[in-house]
Amino acid sequence: MDTSKTEPFAAAAFIKEIGRGVKGARSMSRADAALLYEAMLDGRVSDLELGAILLAMRIKGESVDEIAGFMDAAERAFAPLPSPPGDYAPVLIPSYNGARKLANLTPLLAMLLARQGVPVLVHGVEHDPGRVTTAEIFAELGIAPTGSTADMLDAFAQHKPCFMPIELLAPKLAQQLALRRILGVRNSTHTLVKILQPFECPALRLVSYTHPEYLAMLTDYFGGAAPAARGDAFLMRGTEGETVANANRAQEINWFHAGSKTLLVERDARWPASSRCRRRSPRKWRIAYRWHGR
């Protein structure tokens, strides 16, 4: 038995570095971040230290190396999903916010993609007080949360989107998300689940951000720190936190492929898209999420 997976983890040295406030805190290396987050996921960090870590990171903000290290540990914490058959790489749509004022169009996006034969996995939370979640809309449409990878592959074969609760997809990450109910604020895991790539094959991640500092950090992450073999990403400002177009105004959308960034949609372009956007987007979408010979 590997006792390193069960012994308590002393986190004081890490807290000393990240807990000095916005100006005094130092960021961890990628290796140290992976080591710390792995211990957090395994439940080897005391409640007191865990609370200190989560609040320190909330105040300091995550560096690219820290997010990359956290993701390294996160992807080792659950079994990868099998590759779906077909010409298209799977598309991942995180849904952890829902809608408060605007319509939640995430289910519509998922269904339109699935109708074209694209394997679409929506993952997220089933309920969020004060918001209308994607899972709740799917339930009204007769699309129940998946219970297994076999159900997921069946949905793909029928050209239907699949919704997988984070509790099933990555139980240890779900436990970290649940700490929001205790602390009252989100933590680094909320960023991780939005950039999660759980498939064993390359996939296209639709990723959103809510604050400008996350745009800079995620741009750097997908521009260099994210493993290119894991697939591509579209990055845009979220619509009330959801990774879906805003019906009132166009958000800037950037495509990351092998560390290279390409502008797909300009900010504040007219809806329906401008002539430039109409010329570029269909071709770019096909290139971005189709991989032949996988």
Condensed to tens digits (0 to 9), the pLDDT of residues 61-87 reads 999 999 999 999 999 999 999 999 999
Residue 105 CA to residue 94 CA, distance in Å, equals 13
Domain enclosing residue 253, as ranges: 91-289
- Whether residues 71 and 100 share a domain: the answer is no
Q: The CATH number of the domain where 17 resides is what? A: 1.20.970.10
What is the model's pTM?
Answer: 0.88
Crossing angle (nearest 10°) for helices 171-178 and 30-41: 90
Condensed to tens digits (0 to 9), the pLDDT of residues 228-237 reads 999 999 999 9
Does residue 80 belong to any structural domain of this protein? no
pLDDT, average across residues 160-170:
97
Tens of pLDDT along 37-60? Answer: 999 999 999 999 999 999 999 999
Same domain for 229 and 139?
Answer: yes
What percentage of the chain carries pLDDT values higher than 90?
A: 83
> Is 107 found in the same domain as 55?
no
Beta strands, E only, 125-199: 162-165
Over the stretch 217-256, which tens digit does the pLDDT of each residue have?
999 999 999 999 999 999 999 999 999 988 888 899 999 9
138 in the same domain as 203? yes
**Quick check: 4 pLDDT over 80?**
no
At 23 the pLDDT is 87
| Residue range 89-102, pLDDT digits in tens | 999 999 999 999 99
Rounded (10°) angle between helices 212-220 and 64-75 = 70
With CA atoms as reference, report the closest residue to 33 among 79, 74, 78.
74
- Alpha carbon 179 to its chain's center: 18
Peptide bond connecting 107 to the previous residue in cis, omega within 30 degrees of 0: no
